[in-house]
A and B are shown apart, each in its own frame.
Chain A
Amino acid sequence: MGPLGLLLALAMHLAVCTRPHRDYCVLGAGPAGLQMAALLQRAGRDYEVFERESAPGSFFTRYPRHRKLISINKRHTGKANAEFNLRHDWNSLLSDDPRLLFRHYSKAYFPDASDMVHYLGDFAKCLGLRVLYNTNITHVTLDKDPQAWNGHYFILTDQNGQAYQCSVLLVATGLSVPKLVDFPGSEHVEGYESVSVDPEDFVGQNVLILGRGNSAFETAENILGVTNFVHMLSRSRVRLSWATHYVGDVRAINNGLLDTYQLKSLDGLLESDLEYLALVKDSKGKLHITLKFLLEENNSSQSADSIPLPQDENDNFAMRVAYDRVIRCLGWKFDFSIFNQSLRLSSGTEFSKKYPLIRASYESKGSRGLFILGTASHSVDYRKSAGGFIHGFRYTVRAVHRLLEHRHHGIAWPSTEHPITQLTSSIIRRVNEASGLYQMFSVLADIILLKENATAFEYLEEFPMQMLAQLETLTGRTARHGLFVINMEYGKNFSGPEKDVFYYDRSVAHIEDAWRSNFLHPVIYFYRHLPTEQDMRFRPAQWPLPRPVAVHHIVEDFLTDWTAPVGHILPLRRFLENCLDTDLRSFYAESCFLFTLTRQRLPPFCQQGYLKMQGVSSTKSLRQHGVESRLLQDYTTMEDSNLWLGDQPSAPGPLTQSLDSNKEEL
């Protein structure tokens, strides 16, 4: 190493010393970045958000192109419960401030995208979140350091060459790179991100749209009334969200084209792999569909009019008509380009290529301390749950924050501890109001950890259920004495693009058939021991969790109101009782009094209530009902003389006599 090298090293060392340090760096001030910032802020952590634009939510300043958000803004549910109402508010972020609810920002059921921009701006401002705007992080790399929380620091460099050092990197950059097509003639294709949104520009045109997602349908919807026809081409069949129960599939609000297709109004849907296609522009500027291999066969002549077309061979080829425009609406993918190879941030498998590969804890598989949040984290539940959307990832972000609080600050996963007598009602309360469970069904689950002898339990909310095997290390709670997992599930064979979700008899009404419920309903798994990683990996196909010791389904409910005493609560109690091998009924003080004086043991309700001088008194009216139902006895009218067989004329001899005489002998 020459003196020059030494100087360079010295300069670099200086740079290291001057780069500001943050415990937490958040990339992107979109909904997920702001959600994480809000949680870090509330916890008093050292953090910074980096945003390349000058305001939060820049994605929404441009997209969706036609400005209508398809996340619902349901302002009235008939209920006051704020947590429950979040089940039907798909746009708000989580905060303690009730003013920061999206319903105060738009009255529209499908709100305008600029309202979202406005909302996110207010969210950042009102909570005083620390966001560095106009800071475009162009490069992220690792700097190994045994002192660092994770054995390395993340070094972020912005467009001005300014570096920042972070202990934990939280990437919430969303999916920002439009997915392109690459086939001969693809240069003639317009992109969703730039195509005109003025229907006037499409009057009397033949339009072909590539793609079959919401952006494709949204584009079609806009021009349906003015074009000659709209054809839509994609590799896979259309997936309707009301059949798949996945909000990322085509929503009914966008499906005008399906209507006109099926009602023979010239518009249409076609399936083909885009890789085989080619596009040829003729002299009049019209676009013709042909196949790649036909082009390759005679690659000599490039004159458009002489290129062989499929209809030359097959004169009823579907796309033989010439198009005026071809529009690509194929969605977006994650921007991997800024991440140095040392971060080992790779893309997911075949079906989630557009997403970075992460664990169910949202931590990158490549580098510890690197978490992916928000839309880009959707590989965990792609096409299953709502983790790619605000109403889902606001909860997964919170889960990540809870993991971090434990990992770096020794704050165990928040939990509440209750006596076992509260078990049934704790579950009933959550399944009836919890929004995180409802939105992130089969991804986040509530966990009940039993205490020794099952006399008490701890309740943990919204844990990433695929990480169940690591629960103890991730949460700082112990699970030695068995656990319940509370999940929400659709029926196992109910969802899918080809499923008939309106079939007759689809709803289950009888509690003994609850396991066949189709609509989203609570499912409770019981384990005597925490499942191991092995158990998790080799769980039965289509099961979200390994085989439990016992499982309970609370029967689906049309109103999603699981508080019916006999239909919902009673079967749940029986399930819990049989898992714990105890009696979880509640008793009035008078019954407990009787048990106390006539038995050596008491049911948990009397043990934990009555004996601690917190018994439940009955009132006159309740007592009367109790006597009528034969669950309570009216002791005031109890016969003085015992009627041993008194009403059986054939056997008059009362045994009481014998007992009495017995006593006299003593």
Chain B
Amino acid sequence: MMSSDFVVFRAGVALVLMCSFYKSTEDPLPELSPQQYFSTLQPGKASLAYFCQVGSLSNSLFLEELKEAIRPLQDYGISVSKVNCVKEEASRYCGKEEALMKAYLFRGNILLREFPTDTLFDVNAIVAHVLFALLFNEVKYVTTLEDLHSIENSLKGKANMIFSYVEAIGTPEHRAVMEAAFVYGTSYQFALTTEFALLENIGSENIDRAHLYFFHCKVVLDLTEHCRTTQMEQPLTTLNIHVFVKTMKAPLLTEVAEDPQQVSTIHLQLGLPLVFIISQQATYEADRRTAEWVAWRLLGKAGVLLLSRDSVDMDIPQHANVAFRRAEKEVPVEFLVLNDVDLIVSYVENNMYIEEIQEDEDGVQKGPDLAIQDDEVAETVYRDRKRPLPLELTVELTQETFNSTVTTSDSLVLFYATWHAVSMAFLQSYIDVAIKLKGTSTILLTRINCADWSDVCSKQNVTAFPAVKLYKEGESPVSYEGMLGTKDLLKFVQLNRISCPVNIASIQEAEKYLCGELYKDLLSFTSVSVLGLFSPAMTSAKEHFREVGKQLRGSVITGVYSEDDVWILSNKYAAPLPAMLLARPREGRIESVPLATAPVQEMVQILANAPLEAFPEITVENLPAYLRLQRPLLILFSDGSINPQYRNTTLALVRQKQLDSFTPCWLNLKNTPVGRGILKAYFGHLPPLPQLLLVNLHSGGQVYAFPSAQSITEQNLILWLKKLEAGLENPITILSDQEWKPPLPAFDFLSMMDAPTSQAPTKKVEECMKEAEGQETAEQPQGGKSATRRLPTEMLRIKHWNRSNWPKEAAEEPSQLHREL
């Protein structure tokens, strides 16, 4: 690697330059006579001189720009002067009339270049042109692909090249490249082009004003091979080029064996993040190759290091393969599981929200596109908007028809709004239910668009969409509170066909009810039938139970038996009155719960948990019900049906009350394919199946995997759980407890409004105001007469909403705002 003191020194110059760059340069422009001027020239020193006639005023603009250029050129050891041509001291540079407009660049007293003043149109052009002339050898100007290739070939195995495209000579970008060349010209070969076509030839897309590439030619030994290139993605400014070149110079991959939090590289100093690829001895070679590949992809964006897991004395989560450290000091290292290079690269690119290097001069900041939809429901509904739905299967209600419909027939009403994405997604499921029930249901499926009939909706107490209510004759409407999907809604409709609770008339009927024969067709929707048993005198207990039944209508079926011979059932099921029987016809199990003291809310809770199974198959629909138990999930991932032996093992343990502190369950990947995504998140890849895991969702987020080498037996399982409890096992991963932050920033309209020139569109208006004859001063309190410049286009660009800053700004700026307004 090259690192000469000289380069460092020159880089230092560039940085100093940056600091002085924005200061207004008040240096006076020395005015000399030709004789004075030539007498001051020192051998080897460059100087720029503008020869002009005394008293000529025509060039005041140019002189202003020239004055501005004094300071920057001085930093490169170039002096600037204005030479007044006086008659008695005729100099050939004073020349004729048209030649009055020229500036000359000398090294010592040798003329290097002459510039017509119109090429030096501003300070950028002056600096760019002067440096371009001085660095003639360091910066090769190329116009064809062949030129470029011949330079490239000549450098292979020797040196690297910095190639840039600028729109034109004398632009700010050109100046930035020349300033970089001044600093790095001895270390790298610079090449420059203004040919658009050349850039297309090397395969660039989206060509903007300027581009810069680093050609890694030094490492190329085979002359037939092309040099690898890295494109600089930031806008071309001196500072950005400096940072870019520095990162190119840094080693591609560094191997470290220390705490990632302690590592320091040039990248951090430059405000770039670090990516650690976590390796271990066994796979060192493969990991190193991976890391190199990542390093190439992230060159110029982040530093890449290879971290040896074995030699670091610290806790690295077991499955983490990548560590990410932001440039900000206070942010802790994140351990991640990222399973391919693309993921790592996109993770880094999405998390580079460091203080972006502020470039006042040309603040081109490419933010994320805020107008890209990242809401999956909104986007899918939008994409699906043109597909016609069989809406005719449901009755559309209006203000006129609503009341007459819901009072004359049992109706289910969907309240939705056509502009509301979640409503429209649910409308599809609603229509699916209508399709399934077509011609069979006694309940009328209707819908009302609250975007049109908001009055009707608010009268029904619907203020949020979507909402479903069931209107049954003589009863107050029931709100549907289940999943917004076909399956649960269908269940709700079906279970609501019978009254809730059902009055059971005889012992025989009660037995039929308990074994599931009474409502056979409903068996597929609910696993539990509840029967309340009361002696005829227990009116208040009965009322409470009815209340519970009403609350749960649509999710459980309930019945009441309260005849004189109720003691028969009470004795048979050992249920002292009042009691309820929870019958699971599918399992052939009936249990009794005494009701003596239970308040309504508690009964609701008992019944809501009643359908929970001892060893359920977890699905998207039922997971929340099991999560309410607040226990760690002992979950077996299975591709297809579960091994009956495992079921027996688990059920045996359940019966032995060994698993009371867990929720044993299993997941069928065939029914719940998203389980693959979960496994991938846990393991980083799809592990062999079946896989038994303990997921501690409610405290700590640890995920433990049952050793796949062992067979799942009662003993092994208990032993493993004991080991876990004793803290003898390491989690395979710890679930992230990151907060859900805004996915993207928002437009910061407040600071756009603050910009002093924000009143661009009023320009025309002000012109009119001069002609206004009225005296309506009160209508124009601010006058608005301050000179308004045209709005600079930067202001209209999207700026990052710097979240950490804006409240602070808000506190500081009101006074300023007053002034501006």
User: Which residues on A are within 8 Å of B, measured CB to CB?
Assistant: 79-83, 98, 235-237, 271, 350-351, 383, 416, 418-419, 422, 425-426, 428-429, 432-433, 491-493, 496-500, 503, 505-506, 511-516, 518, 528, 540-543, 547-553, 563, 565-566, 569-571, 573-575, 577-578, 581-591, 593-594, 596-604, 609-619, 621-623, 625-626, 628-629, 631-636, 638-646, 648, 650-664, 666
Contacts and interface: CB of A to CB of B under 8 A. Distances in A.
A79 B452 contact: yes
Interface stretch (B238-246, B711-719, B761-769): B761-769
B684 A237 contact: no
Contact of A604 (B287, B289, B705, B740): B740
Interface string B784-798: 100000000000111
Contacts of B624: 596, 610-613, 615
Contact of A577 (B279, B743, B782): B743
Contacts of A628: 383
Contact of B455 (A82, A235, A429, A622): A82
Given A569-B378, A594-B678, A645-B341, A578 B774 contact: no
Interface in B57-109: none
A615 B483 CA distance: 5
A655 B378 contact: no
Interface string B386-408: 01000000000011000000000
Contact of A648 (B285, B293, B764): B293
Nearest to B465: A425
Given A598-B681, A653-B286, A577 B707 contact: no
A549 B738 CA distance: 25
B340 interface: yes
Given A600-B737, A662-B318, A653 B374 contact: no
Contact of A582 (B293, B709, B741, B773): B741
Interface in B240-298: 277, 279-280, 282-283, 285-287, 289-290, 292-293
Contacts of A652: 286, 289
B776 interface: yes
Interface in B771-787: 771-776, 778-782, 784
Contacts of B421: 565, 586
A81 B453 contact: yes
Interface in B519-578: none
Contact of B685 (A542, A575, A588, A642): A642
Nearest to B698: A600
A661 to B, nearest CB: 5
B686 A641 contact: yes
A638 B680 contact: yes
Contact of B746 (A571, A640, A650): A571
Interface stretch (B12-20, B210-218, B326-334, B810-818): B810-818
A583 B374 CA distance: 11
30 contacts: A81-B454, A425-B464, A428-B420, A493-B765, A498-B765, A498-B774, A499-B765, A511-B371, A514-B749, A550-B806, A574-B746, A582-B741, A583-B740, A589-B485, A591-B376, A594-B674, A597-B678, A601-B740, A617-B426, A618-B380, A629-B383, A631-B373, A631-B375, A635-B675, A635-B677, A651-B292, A657-B286, A659-B683, A663-B318, A666-B707
B760 to A, nearest CB: 8
Interface string B104-119: 0000000000000000
Given A590-B620, A654-B286, A603 B740 contact: yes
B544 to A, nearest CB: 24
> Which 7 A-B residue pairs are closest in the complex by CB-CB distance?
A653-B286, A617-B485, A642-B685, A658-B283, A563-B419, A577-B742, A651-B293
B753 A633 contact: no
B422 A586 contact: yes
Interface string B706-741: 011100000000000000000001101001111111
B290 A575 contact: no
Contacts of B375: 570, 573, 585-586, 631
Contacts of A593: 620, 623, 672, 674
Interface string B639-673: 00000000000000000000000000000000011
Given A614-B482, A646-B340, A663-B318, 20 more contacts: A80-B399, A422-B464, A500-B768, A541-B781, A547-B810, A550-B750, A571-B370, A574-B747, A583-B740, A583-B742, A590-B674, A594-B678, A594-B681, A600-B701, A600-B736, A601-B738, A615-B620, A632-B376, A653-B287, A654-B286
Interface string B597-625: 00000000000000000000000110111
Contacts of B772: 237, 497-498
A636 B674 CA distance: 8
A190 to B, nearest CB: 27
Contacts of B779: 383, 496-497
A640 B686 contact: yes
Contact of B623 (A515, A582, A596): A596
Contact of A653 (B290, B377, B417): B290
Given A542-B821, A601-B738, A552 B373 contact: no
Given A589-B620, A615-B624, A540 B818 contact: yes
Contacts of B509: none
B750 A659 contact: no
B469 interface: no
A578 B801 contact: yes
Contact of A549 (B420, B675, B778, B806): B806
B379 interface: yes
Contact of B752 (A515, A584, A625, A644): A515
Nearest to A499: B765
A589 B483 contact: yes
Given A575-B746, A596-B627, A650 B286 contact: no
B399 A547 contact: no
Contacts of A646: 340
B463 interface: yes
Contact of A83 (B432, B455, B684, B817): B455
A621 B387 contact: yes
A664 B705 CA distance: 12
Contact of B339 (A496, A497, A550, A644): A644
Nearest to B483: A615
A82 B452 CA distance: 8
B810 A81 contact: no
Given A500-B765, A578-B803, A638 B686 contact: yes
A583 B160 CA distance: 46
B759 interface: yes
Nearest to A587: B376
Nearest to A612: B624
B759 A625 contact: no
B771 to A, nearest CB: 8
B676 interface: yes
B759 A493 contact: yes
A335 B26 CA distance: 68
Contacts of A650: 289, 293
A587 to B, nearest CB: 6
A82 B454 contact: yes
B381 interface: yes
Nearest to A496: B779
B308 to A, nearest CB: 12
Contact of A622 (B380, B672, B732): B380
B498 to A, nearest CB: 22
A653 B482 contact: no
A551 B803 contact: no
B684 A659 contact: yes
Contact of B426 (A80, A497, A575, A616): A616
Nearest to A433: B454
B452 A621 contact: no
A493 B801 contact: no
B821 A540 contact: yes
A422 B422 CA distance: 11
Contacts of B226: none
Contacts of B821: 540-543
A458 to B, nearest CB: 12
